[in-house]
């Protein structure tokens, strides 16, 4: 059985913060005798002097400083519990689960989650970063509430978000650039292609592989970008991930003419739109809004023969 209460620790904290019993009473709207009784009872129960009066001001003893520092952690946790309860009482979800395809603009995603956190600070977020059909698998399994995907699974409706643009790239010193002409399929097949693995577990889809003599398969786009920047192969990368490296000259678009660009639609899919809570709905709005500000396909060009 606990001998002390959170209310007693709150009273002690108020005395310390406001410099005395009278000031604390005015600040927390309690009588001075109530504050006095709570703090003295706390000291009696602990068998420790927590406060000492110096001049006209009450201040913590060395033991009091240690004890209050520990108690403040409990007070903060109690406040968080009350905030969560208040959120739940208004229908705010305690947790949301979202799967986002890795071709979604990752900096925009960070901004979206920051904005969501500012509005719903007590809601936990489970983020799954997926590739190809991995997100659809999570949605159909009931694991996520919201999905950003390039392929809407059967039985669900998708809201168009954006058209993602892919560009064929390699390091500027890659042998493919050294040919000095527009490339053919046979040229590409003689060199290593970096492919990103489908994150689905039940089935795996190969997308964009050209039958190259060497295929290296990785799990994340960031790994693919890092490898290509080191001259280890070529790939079609989404401009959402490759643009900065292209602008900086770390990557160069392959001379394939119109064939160097590919496109994929991204969709926003709710697990159950009718039952979506305020956090899920707001997250969907933010994800869509961020895409509205993203450049249209074709807006970014880096001539391959420069």
pLDDT at position 262 over 50: yes
**Long-range contacts, 48-51 (Cβ 8 Å, 24+):** 50/12, 51/12, 51/15, 51/16
First-to-final CA distance of the chain? 77
The token pair at 94 is 């305690």
Question: 197-216: per-residue pLDDT in tens?
Answer: 988 877 655 555 555 568 89
153 and 192 fall within a common domain:
no
Which residues have a Cβ under 8 Å from the Cβ of 216 and sit 6 or more positions away?
192, 193, 194, 195, 227, 232, 233
Q: What is the CATH number of the domain that holds 209?
A: 3.40.190.290
**Cβ(235)–Cβ(194) below 8 Å:** yes
In sign, the C-alpha dihedral spanning 274, 112, 137, 264 is positive
Strand, helix or coil for residue 177: helix
245 and 224 fall within a common domain:
yes
* Exposure letters 140-165 (e unless 16+ CB within 10 A, then b): beeebbbbbbbbbbeebebeebbebb
Last residue in a domain, options 66, 89, 112? 89
151 and 109 fall within a common domain:
yes
Domain that includes residue 103, residue range: 95-161+266-292
Question: 209-242: per-residue pLDDT in tens?
Answer: 555 568 899 999 999 999 999 999 999 999 999 9
Q: Is residue 214 part of a domain?
A: yes
């Amino acid at each position: 059985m606990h001998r002390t209460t959170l209310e007693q620790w709150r009273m002690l904290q108020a005395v310390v913060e406001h410099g005395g019993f009278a000031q604390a009473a005015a600040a927390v709207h309690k009588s001075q005798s109530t504050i006095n009784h709570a703090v003295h009872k706390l000291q009696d129960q602990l068998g420790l002097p927590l406060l000492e009066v110096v001049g006209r001001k009450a201040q913590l003893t060395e033991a009091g400083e240690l004890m209050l520092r520990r108690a403040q952690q409990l007070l903060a946790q109690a406040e968080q519990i009350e905030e969560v309860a208040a959120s739940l009482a208004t229908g705010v979800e305690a947790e949301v689960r979202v799967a986002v395809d890795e071709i979604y603009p990752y900096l925009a995603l960070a901004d979206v989650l920051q904005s969501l956190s500012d509005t719903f600070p007590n809601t936990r977020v489970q983020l799954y970063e997926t590739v190809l059909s991995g997100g659809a698998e999570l949605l159909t399994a009931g694991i996520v509430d919201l999905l950003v995907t390039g392929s809407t699974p059967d039985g669900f409706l998708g809201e168009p978000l954006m058209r993602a643009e892919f560009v064929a790239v390699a390091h500027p010193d890659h042998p493919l650039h050294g040919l000095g002409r527009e490339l053919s399929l046979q040229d590409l097949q003689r060199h290593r292609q970096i492919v990103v693995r489908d994150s689905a577990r039940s089935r795996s889809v190969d997308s964009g592989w050209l039958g190259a003599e060497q295929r290296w398969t990785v799990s994340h786009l960031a790994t693919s970008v890092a490898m290509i920047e080191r001259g280890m192969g070529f790939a079609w990368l989404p401009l959402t991930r490759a643009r900065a490296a292209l602008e900086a000259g770390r990557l160069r678009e392959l001379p394939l003419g119109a064939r160097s660009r590919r496109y994929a639609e991204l969709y926003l899919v709710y697990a159950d739109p009718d039952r979506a809570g305020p956090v899920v709905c707001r997250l969907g709005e933010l994800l869509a809004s961020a895409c509205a500000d993203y450049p249209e396909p074709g807006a970014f060009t880096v001539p391959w023969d420069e």
